[in-house]
Amino acid sequence: MLWRAPLSLVHSAMPYEPNQTNDPSLKSWVESANDASSHFPIQNLPLCAFLHPDEEAVVLGARIGDKLVDMGLLAEAGILTDDHDGHAHHHEHSIFDDVALNHVLGHGPGLMAGMRKQLQEFLVDGPAGGQQARRLRQSALLDVAKCELLPPVAVMNYTDFYASIHHATTVGSMFRPDNPLLPNYKHVPIGYHGRASSIVESGTPIVRPRGQQSPPEGEPGAGPSFGPCKMLDYELEVGAFVGVGNELGKPISIREAHEHLAGLCLVNDWSARDIQKWEYQPLGPFLAKNFATTISPYVVTMDALAPFRCKAFSRGAGDPQPLAYLMDQRDQELGGFDITLEVWLSSAKMREQGAAAMRISRSNAFKDMYWTLAQMLAHHTSNGCNMQAGDLFASGTISGSEPGTRGCLLESTWQGWGPDGKAMPRKPITLPSGETRTFLADGDEVTIRGWCEREGYRTIGFGECVGRIEGAE
């Protein structure tokens, strides 16, 4: 019998509603995927790119359990096709033979949904069939531990937003305690163009940046200095990959925006706070942000995320309603995503002592973004800006309202203003080794994890987004 999504999640006009591919009863012949603790069941199948351990070639794949599926090999065998829009496409080579997922994402939701169904049909529990099918099961799957994961998408353009109202309020209060939000915040999604060339895959070392820092307070006449960043921070974010782009001069409407989103990933948009403090006026982030941005290695598809959509953030009674080009009832009903997010920290000393990493933040505050992903994309293109397949835009730091839910050290160690009107000293985080941190030290390793869970569905995960700080060169 065909599994049907709970009525509370079905909206006939909303794309990516739950369907039979989200059926929690589905099992795979890949036993590790059936483990209840796995974040990569057959209901997930996030897309990735990896280096084949035997052929030393880049392969496009999907994750299931503790295995990676070679999609190029499945395409050769006729398991995966690209005719999901009603007619076959003829190419000199298969899109599954590329070194990044851009063309796959750019074919749009029809191919993504069809490919997901074909992958599930290949991986679902049941007899393999003939000898050729049994051989394909063996050759098309590789141990993830033996493969080097690569950036899943060749990102040509990157935009970072500022969509968490809790983050914006806390950081704004550090500079404007009586009026932390600027007048435009509740009217327009705030963002800036980042640097795509310095987006790196999880596990890439992060070299402490150098830069100009402001003159020391209390020293009249002193000038700025140049040297290694002293206030290095992480930023917990979620990123969205664009699937089908748009032509220059032709905006993506809020009603169509979800059709242009291909999938999500985890993002750590590292930040040099002292450099940023000196340079950000009047044009905003520059060298304090462009030295590195780490992304997780998987594209978790919108189809896999369908059961975990939720109502968008409810604005306060006195808040303005978005302008018409940013307002869509469907997006208000199901434009949010309920994702549990954690940040873990380990120091070099902790690892030497054999101590486990320490969790320093946990929340599901992504569902409380003031602006939805669809609103961000619609605003991004509202002036005619053209998006391309594989472009990445991120949420900005994701923070809740409580200290243990904040998405960066700038907020986590902030204690507010004292009765004398001066900022109180930062409260350091104490690590199991006895060390303290207000900002990151050399040797510190930051790990971001994320997953979606809901009663009646299999849990799906994003993998890890990891970066370790190395000393300035």
pLDDT along the chain (473 residues), means of 10: 31 65 97 98 98 92 98 95 58 81 95 96 89 91 97 98 96 92 96 97 98 88 94 98 98 97 98 96 94 98 97 94 96 96 98 97 97 98 98 98 94 93 93 98 98 97 98 93
Distance, CA of 305 to CA of 303 (rounded, Å): 5
Question: In the prediction, which pLDDT does 216 show?
Answer: 87
For domain 158-217+227-470, say whether CATH 3.90.850.10 is its number.
yes
Q: pTM of the prediction?
A: 0.94
Locus of tokens 């059926």: 23
| Own/partner pairs, 176-183, CB within 8 angstroms, 24+ separation | 177/417
Identify each DSSP E strand in 277-385 by its residue range: 293-295, 300-301, 309-310, 336-337, 340-346, 358-363
Active site residues: 167
SS3 415: coil
Token pair of 394 as six digits: 């991120």
Q: What is the pLDDT of residue 12?
A: 34
CB environment 248-282: b (16+ within 10 A), e (fewer): eeebbbbebbbbbbbbbbbbbbbbbbbbbebbeee
pLDDT at 84: 58
C-alpha 215, offset from chain centre = 36
Buried b (16+ CB within 10 A) or exposed e, 348-366: bbbeeeeeebbebbebbbb
Per-residue pLDDT at 8: 32
**What's the pLDDT at 85?**
52
Rounded distance between C-alpha atoms, residue 350 and residue 358, angstroms: 9
pLDDT at 217: 82
Tell me the CA end-to-end span of the chain in Å, nearest whole number. 62
Burial of 150 (0-12, 13-18, 19+ CB in 10 A): middle
The residues pairing with 212 across neighbouring beta strands, listed in sequence order, are 226
Per-residue pLDDT at 145: 97
Retrieve residue 143's tokens.
């141990």
Q: How far apart are CA 431 and CA 429, in angstroms?
A: 6
Predicted pLDDT at 5: 32
Angle among Cα 7, 243, 42 to the nearest 5 degrees reads: 55
Positions of CATH 2.30.30.230 in the chain: 7-150
Residue type, 146: K
Distance of CA 169 to the CA centre of its chain: 22
For 178, which DSSP code?
T
φ, ψ for residue 197, nearest 5 deg: -65, -20
The pLDDT of residue 92 is: 55
Residue range(s) occupied by CATH 3.90.850.10 in the chain: 158-217+227-470
Q: What is the pLDDT of residue 33?
A: 98
Q: Which fold has domain 7-150?
A: SH3 type barrels. (2.30.30)
CB atoms within 10 A of CB 455: 5
pLDDT at 4: 32
**Could you tell me where the DSSP H helices lie in 4-108?**
71-76, 102-106
Q: What's the length of the chain?
A: 473
With contact defined as beta carbons under 8 Å apart, do 347 and 321 qualify?
no
pLDDT of residue 90: 47
What's the pLDDT at 87?
A: 45
Which residues of 279-363 form beta strands (DSSP E)? 293-295, 300-301, 309-310, 336-337, 340-346, 358-363
User: CB within 8 A of 435, min separation 6: which ones?
Assistant: 347, 349, 350, 441
